[in-house]
Amino acid sequence: MLPRPVAVTRTGSGTFTLDAATTLGADPACAGVAHWLRTALSGATGLPLPGPAGPGGIALTVDPTMPAEGYHLRVRPDGIAITGGSPAGAFYGAQTLRQLLPPAVYRRAPVTAGPWTVPGVEIADAPRFGWRGCMLDVARHFLPVAGVLRLVDLLAAHKLNVLHLHLTDDQGWRIQIRRYPRLTEVGGWRAESMVGSRQHERFDGRPHGGYYSQDDIREIVAYAAERFVTVVPEIDLPGHTQAAIAAYPELGNDSGEPAAVGTRWGVSGRVLNVSDETVAFFRHVLDEVMELFPSRHIGIGGDECVKDEWRASPLAQQRMRDLGLRGEDELQGWFVRQFQQHLAASGRMLFGWDEILEGSLPPGATVAAWRGPALAVAAARAGHEVVACWDTAAYLDYRQSDGPDEPIPVGTVLTVADVRAFEPVPADLPAELRDRIVGAQCNLWTEHADSPRTVDYLAFPRLSAFAEAVWSAAGSADGFDDRLHAHLGRLDALGVEYRPPGGPLPWQRRPDAAGWPRDRADREAELAALTRNVQQS
């Protein structure tokens, strides 16, 4: 099983076999989980699994005295009992039951006639962390709804419970805002798709774009909720906003040329101005975002804001004098606070990258610590919740090996084993601040992933390793390789085009064509440049 449960007791030869007579039922509290499990199992098995649960069937119940996301799973010849601390716990028990069946159970239609036998077992399990997330960047390359729903299913199969959607960036704005239609009409596409690592030589000249309508967002949110995944939206500001400025030039600083939606990777110098009108604009944007996303956390990004335009802007300099701010970092702090207050008035919590610590943010935000454990400690000390996601452990766009075949040689090497070894609690965090580490997430940036197939290659199986790092007890990686080997069979059945342990498949390999560096020095120079781009703050 992956992630590894807290306690597993094999109870010998007494197995349970699902067949045409098997029933499946649930407490009213988890009727939705039973419906999900019936649908999930009936595709591959062809079994109806009718309710209610009868003797010798599968029964789902809730026991609120247990940890909310924990579950107990008991498989005996006379029936399967799953008890969750909440419907979410029952759902994770149901996901574990799927893993106890043959991998073909993950198919969407029958490829074998069974038998669908589950070993006799007792499992007691609960997650180590409450925030078990994956950030998906849909701005750099748009992923249509079907691909997002598929990813939700894959996250849920790994007992992850947060999908952080990076919806806006320099290179695209991906969410319909009724009040500001040009955000998607103009900001929703760019003139070039861009692939590969040397953009200038490798762009393919095709326009790229797309966005989610508000109904698309509602569908994604509702679909995820049925699988106990919370979708946390991010509207990145005040940097990473070139697409918004291209759509509404009045959001930018006077100093700039007219902006187009970005067509190169790296961080743009085009950032929002700090006028009252711009603050009001993005409060309106966040109002529509809050309508669509019930998530307690609402992301405002806050990362990598280049301050050059503010240094040259009379408006920004005047604002700083009026407010008595010392330096542009404090100005960014002021800007971010305008949204913290606005979100708080609606009962929401500000979520941002660790740059939101610059300036003076009142306690009570949630900080995604991407630049390393030191930032996590700083955020915890400052009274914030922390989601650990440093690039050296959780950036799934980083290269998986330093082999010459690796197709997307960006970042530093981050192997499956590296991700499994990810420890979200910094060693030097004072014990009394331990609870401020609410969890971790892996981050899937898509500059170099222009198709669902490439997303699969980057994400898997490292995302599986991440799931164990964030669910299972600390230091329990024993047997991980064997568990992962078995798990690859499930990914095969799910149609996930992961990177095989032996290296990329021929069609996943690095191109060997004009425009790609030919010798090692050239490649190293390229890697260094890319690593700088990604790591600059």
**Active site residues per annotation:** 169, 240, 304
Given the complex with its own copies, which of 247 and 305 has the nearer CB atom? 247
* Binding track over 438-457 against its own copies, x by CB under 8 A: -------------xxx----
Query: Is residue 222 near its own copies by the rule CB under 8 A?
Result: yes
Q: Residue 150, interface with its own copies (CB under 8 A)?
A: yes
SS3 16: strand
Structure letter (DSSP) for residue 496: -
Stretch that binds its own copies, among 209-217, 264-272, 313-321, 416-424 (CB under 8 A): 209-217
> Of the candidates 6, 66, 124, 145, which one interacts with its own copies according to CB under 8 A?
145
Q: Which is nearer to its own copies, 407 or 426 (CB)?
A: 407
C-alpha distances (whole Å) from 94 to each of 80, 87, 468 are 10, 10, 17
CA distance 48 to 70: 27
Check residue 216 for interaction with its own copies (CB under 8 A).
yes
How far, in Å, CA of 206 to CA of 110, rounded?
A: 39
- For its own copies, the closer of residues 217 and 375 by Cβ is 217
Q: Which is nearer to its own copies, 114 or 210 (CB)?
A: 210
Output 168 or 443, the one with its CB closest to its own copies: 168
Residue of 122, 192, 358, 526 interacting with its own copies (CB under 8 A): 192
Q: Tokens 């007992």 identify what position?
A: 159
Regarding 113 and contact with its own copies (CB under 8 A), the answer is: no
Q: Do 389 and 441 form a contact (C-beta atoms < 8 A)?
A: yes
Q: Which residue stretch of 8-16, 19-27, 78-86, 510-518 sits at the interface with its own copies (rule: CB under 8 A)?
A: 510-518
Smallest gap from Cβ 435 to its own copies, in A, equals: 33
Element (H, E) at 314: helix 314-323
CB of 509 to its own copies, least distance (A): 6
All residues at 6 or more sequence positions from 517 whose CB lies less than 8 Å from its CB, including other chains: 198, 523, 525, 526
Report in angstroms the alpha-carbon separations of 358 from 236, 242, 426.
16, 22, 20
The helix-helix angle for 452-459 and 145-157 (nearest 10°) equals 20
- The residue within the footprint of its own copies, chosen from 207, 249, 403, 501 (CB under 8 A), is 207
Q: What SS3 class is residue 276? A: helix
Report residue 240 as tokens.
């990473």
In degrees and rounded to multiples of 5, residue 300 shows phi and psi of -120, 15
Instruction: Number of residues interacting with its own copies: please give it, by CB under 8 A.
Output: 62
Check: CB of residue 60 under 8 Å from CB of residue 30. yes
Contact set for its own copies, span 79-108 (CB under 8 A): 104, 107-108
Which among 166, 163, 170 is positioned nearest to 242, based on CA atoms?
Answer: 170
Indicate whether 218 belongs to the interface with its own copies (CB under 8 A): yes
Stretch that binds its own copies, among 207-215, 251-259, 308-316, 387-395 (CB under 8 A): 207-215
Inter-helix orientation angle 214-226/145-157, to 10°: 20
Shorter beta-carbon distance to its own copies: residue 34 or 316:
34
Question: Which is closer to its own copies, CB of 162 or CB of 367?
Answer: 162
DSSP letter at 382 equals T
Q: Kind of pairing, strands 208-209 and 189-190? A: antiparallel
> Which of 53, 105, 195, 336 touches its own copies by CB under 8 A?
195
User: Is residue 381 part of the contact set for its own copies (CB under 8 A)?
Assistant: no
Radius of gyration, CA atoms only, the chain = 24
Closest distance of CB 204 from its own copies, Å: 5
Q: Tell me if 511 contacts its own copies by CB under 8 A.
A: yes
Token pair of 496 as six digits: 């996930």
Considering only residues 35 to 64 of the shown chain, the ones binding its own copies according to CB under 8 A are: 35, 39, 42, 48, 50-51
Return d(Cα 45, Cα 279) in angstroms, integer.
54
Distances (CA, A) of 508 to 229, 493, 505: 30, 19, 5
Under the criterion CB under 8 A, does residue 485 sit at the interface with its own copies? no
Could you give the CA distance from residue 128 to residue 71 in angstroms, rounded to a whole number? 13
Contact 356, 305 (CB under 8 A): no
Binder of its own copies out of 11, 223, 413, 476 (CB under 8 A):
223
Chosen residue from 427, 431, 514, 521 binding its own copies by CB under 8 A: 514
Rule CB under 8 A: choose which of 56, 110, 120, 327 binds its own copies.
110
CA 482-484-488 angle, 5° bins: 120
Q: Going residue by residue from 392 to 411, which x/- string records binding to its own copies, judged by CB under 8 A?
A: ---------------x----
Q: What angle do CA 384, 388, 394 make, to 5 degrees?
A: 160
Task: Compare residues 31 and 306 and give the one whose CB is closer to its own copies.
Answer: 31
Nearer to its own copies, 347 or 506 (CB): 506
Q: Looking at beta carbons only, is 202 or 337 nearer to its own copies?
A: 202
CB of 17 to its own copies, least distance (A): 21
Pairing between strand 349-353 and 297-301? parallel
**What is the binding site for its own copies (CB under 8 A)?**
31, 35, 39, 42, 48, 50-51, 104, 107-111, 144-146, 149-150, 188-189, 191-192, 195-196, 202, 204-210, 213, 215-216, 218-223, 225-226, 407, 451-453, 492-493, 495, 497, 505-509, 511-516
